[in-house]
Amino acid sequence: MLNVYDLTPVNEYTVWLGFGIFHSGIEVHGMEYGFGAHEYPISGVFEVEPKTCPGFIFRCSVPLGHINMPPSEFRTFIEKVAAEYHGNTYHLISKNCNHFSNDIAWRLTGKRIPGWVNRLARLGALCSCLLPESLKVTTVKQLPEYHACTEDGSESLASTHESAESDDADQQDKLLLSPCTTSSDVSFIKEVQR
């Protein structure tokens, strides 16, 4: 199942024109899996209860088909895929949550997600001026159980270095996934190497 969310209430007006800004996740074996941004070179793939991704407004579910993969095999699969989707590689135009959902749907069912879900990103690839800078990352929270936070950043890769953009005023407006943020809603998938 593909679960689709509105990133903004403006979608109520723009969806009638064939446009919208959406988040999506893939529901498999009773959990939903998505991809979000953070500043660390570790998995940006997370799981939540279906249709409850924090920070977004649930819109609809789209059936994609069935899989014959047992839950334990799926867990191994999603942990391997998590190595391909680090939070610091998220980009609203070229590698966003909808790209992730499309990739997972294709690998599991041989089907793609509906085109309208990621239409704005495809148009943005043609003209990046369509989207404001503030929409280039998603806003979700993360459980602290994934990659324990350390002061020197060794185990968690959650170092305290500042990015080159950290002085930019717009940077404060961006809410990234944070390995040290506490939330009871989102849990990250620990990646395994292939």
27: tokens are 């529901």
Question: Do residues 78 and 45 make contact, with C-beta atoms less than 8 angstroms apart?
Answer: yes
- Give the residue, 159 or 22, on which the prediction is more confident: 22
Which pLDDT tens digit goes with each residue over 39-50?
999 999 999 999
Answer whether residue 178 shows pLDDT above 90: no
Active-site residue, from 23, 38, 99, 147 = 23
- Give the residue, 159 or 105, on which the prediction is more confident: 105
Domain positions in the chain: 2-144
User: What pLDDT, on a 0 to 100 scale, did the predictor assign at position 93?
Assistant: 82
- Give the residue, 179 or 82, on which the prediction is more confident: 82
User: What pLDDT, on a 0 to 100 scale, did the predictor assign at position 169?
Assistant: 36
- Give the residue, 150 or 101, on which the prediction is more confident: 101
59-69 burial, b if ≥16 CB within 10 A, otherwise e? beebebeeeee
Return the percentage of the chain with pLDDT > 70, whole number. 68
User: What pLDDT, on a 0 to 100 scale, did the predictor assign at position 134?
Assistant: 56
- Give the residue, 20 or 144, on which the prediction is more confident: 20
Answer whether residue 104 shows pLDDT above 80: yes
Q: Is 99 a catalytic residue?
A: no
Which pLDDT tens digit goes with each residue over 108-166?
999 999 999 998 777 766 665 555 665 544 444 443 334 333 333 333 333 323 333 33
Active-site residue, from 53, 86, 97, 147 = 97
- The pTM (predicted TM-score) of the whole model is 0.73
What's the rounded Cα separation, in Å, for the pair 119 and 28? 24
CA 28, distance to chain mean position in Å, is: 15
User: What pLDDT, on a 0 to 100 scale, did the predictor assign at position 125?
Assistant: 63
Name residues whose C-beta falls within 8 Å of residue 180's C-beta, 6 or more positions apart in sequence.
Answer: 144, 149, 156, 158
Residue 12 DSSP label: H
In 7-148, DSSP assigns E strands to 22-28, 31-35, 45-48, 57-62
Question: Do residues 160 and 153 make contact, with C-beta atoms less than 8 angstroms apart?
Answer: yes
Answer whether residue 51 shows pLDDT above 80: yes
Q: Is 127 a catalytic residue?
A: no
User: What pLDDT, on a 0 to 100 scale, did the predictor assign at position 109?
Assistant: 96
Fold of the 2-144 domain: endopeptidase fold (from Nostoc punctiforme) (3.90.1720)
